[in-house]
Structure formats: C-alpha cells, structure tokens
Structure 1
Amino acid sequence: MGILKQRILQALSLTYDFYNHMDEGCLALRISDVPSNTIGEQAYCIIGARESYLNALKIGKWAGFTCSLNNSDIKNLIINKLEETYTNLERFFQDNSVEEINSELLLDLLEHEVQHHGQLIRYAYANKIDFPKSWNVRYTV
C-alpha cells in the first residue's frame, strides 16, 4: 500500500483514538468565547467527509457531502461510524491500486482529517480534556 494510503489510515486511526478516549459528556463541549460547534458536531463533519470522499474516490470526482451519522451526542454511534468508515476506506485501498485512484481526492481526504486533528487539539486544550497516548506520540500534546 502506498505511503499516502498509509498516512490516511493513520490519521483515521488517530481520530478514532481521540473519540474513544474521551467521555461521552465531552461531545457537547465547545470552545468558549469564539464561534464554535461541539466536539460531537466535529465528528459529524469528519464522518461525513470520510463517506463523501469514499463515494468520490469510487466515481473519480466529488459528488457532494452526505453523512449517515444521525446523532452527534452519542459516543457509541460516533465510534461505530468511525470504525465503519475506516474499514470501508481500508477495503477500498486494498481493492484499488494507487494508479487507479484520484490522488487529489486522497490528498483532500488526508488534509480534511488532519485539519480536524488541529481543531480537536484546540477543543481539548480549551476544555482540559486529556489526550490518548497515540496523540501524545504523534503530536507531542
């Protein structure tokens, strides 16, 4: 598997670790005194992007945003969707060579996931949420 695919899967795994590590009550937290959605609503965007980019990768072009997560306040639902989207992307990567995949869409997916990591770091600092070990290793937080 190419390095880009590996880095995408690593980023997806880190997102899972973050949400799995936190308490469900953290999903309702925001960053105070700035425009902010909730940590749960961040998951909605992440999951929707994963589903939407997978659809785009399959057809070779962007076809719009959709998200199957119907409640961003329930940790188990988020965890299940993070696992499902990871598995679906991993299977897609195994079944398709790098040469067959639109590399711009792959880069867009990676950038989107990692951009949310930066946001989640700010949420964690603002709300005094501990990081999982994998985040301490990857981002030195």
Structure 2
Amino acid sequence: MEKLKQRVLQAMSLTDDFYNHINEDCLPLKIADAPSNSIGEQAYCIIGARESYLKALKVGKWAGFECSLTDSYNKTLIINKLEETHTNVERFFQDSSIGDMDSNLVLDLLEHEVQHHGQLIRYAYANNIVFPKSWNVRYTV
C-alpha cells in the first residue's frame, strides 16, 4: 500500500507540473474536430476527483462527485486547488493506517489521475503545447 500511495502522489505532482507549466490562455483549448471539453475543464474533473475520492476514503465508500473549483479558466485558482487537494490527500495518507484505507479507492484515484495524463498529452499535441520537463522524463513525450 505504501508504494501505491507513493504512486498516487507522484501522479498528482505530474498533474500539478503540467498546469503550472502551461499558460492561462491554454485553459480554454480543446482538441479540434473531436468531441472534447477544454484543458481547464479537465482540471475541474481532476480536482473534483481528488476531493471526491478523499471523501470516499474517509467514509469508506464512494459518496458522490463534488468539485470546489469555481472557474475552470483561472490558472491561479486551478493551481491553488491542485496544491490544496494534493496536500489534503498527502496528509490523509500520512495520518491514516494502511488497514484503514480501501485499496480499491486508492487504485481508482490513481487510475483517474493517470487517465487524465493521457488526455492532457493528446491536448498538448493537438495544440502544440510544450510539455514540462517532468513529463518528458516520465512519459518520454
């Protein structure tokens, strides 16, 4: 379980790096000629999942999706929410015993975060966005 928690936090750091790296004018970008939301709306889903999975981990079962991000096109707000949710998950991992956590919920959180990495890679390629160095190292993009 320790390795799993470490991988969740690593994935969150990569997400944080991506949004710190891009310019605010990237947030409304979509993938042309394909059904897609925007890069900013991807952040809404990521932040909401972090908040919702943390809530689920605390109560021991899925308790629904909620997101406190109020503006998907405000980079400062997105960065603040990414940092806040990352810190909250990290604190929960530090303060909770391994046996208290539902490993399926932790896996679901990891899968969700990494699935968004794949989507963000497609958005970056479609919009000629340069990747942060951490993404070049992790994904050889």
Query: Over the residues paired in the alignment, what is the CA RMSD in angstroms?
Result: 0.7
Question: Following superposition of structure 1 onto structure 2, how do residues 111-130 of structure 1 map, counting pairs within 5 Å?
Answer: 111-130=111-130
Unaligned 5+ residue runs, structure 2?
Answer: none
CA separation in 1, counterparts of 2:44 and 2:86? 15
For the residue of structure 1 that corresponds to 2:83, the secondary structure is helix
Unpaired runs of 5+ in structure 1? none
- Which portions of structure 1, spanning 4 or more consecutive aligned residues, are displaced by more than 3 angstroms? none
How far 1:101 moved relative to its partner? 0.2
Per-residue Cα deviation, 1:75-134 (whole angstroms, up to 9, x for no partner): 000000000000000000000122210000000000000000000000000000000000
Whole-Å Cα distance in 2 between the matches of residues 52 and 133 of structure 1? 29
The one-letter amino acid paired with 1:39 is I
TM-score (norm 1): 0.99
> For 2:34, what is the secondary structure of its paired residue?
coil
Cα distance in 2, alignment partners of residues 66 and 100 from structure 1: 23
Q: Where does 1:8-27 land on structure 2 (aligned, <5 Å)? A: 8-27=8-27
> After superposition, what is the alpha-carbon deviation per residue over 1:30-85, rounded to whole angstroms, capped at 9, x for unaligned?
00000010000000000000000000000000000000000000000000000000
What SS does the corresponding residue of 1:52 show, helix, strand or coil?
Answer: helix
Aligned residues: 141
Which amino acid in 2 is paired with 1:45? C
| TM-score scaled by length of structure 2 | 0.99
Match in the other structure for 1:37: 37
Identity among equivalent pairs (%): 77
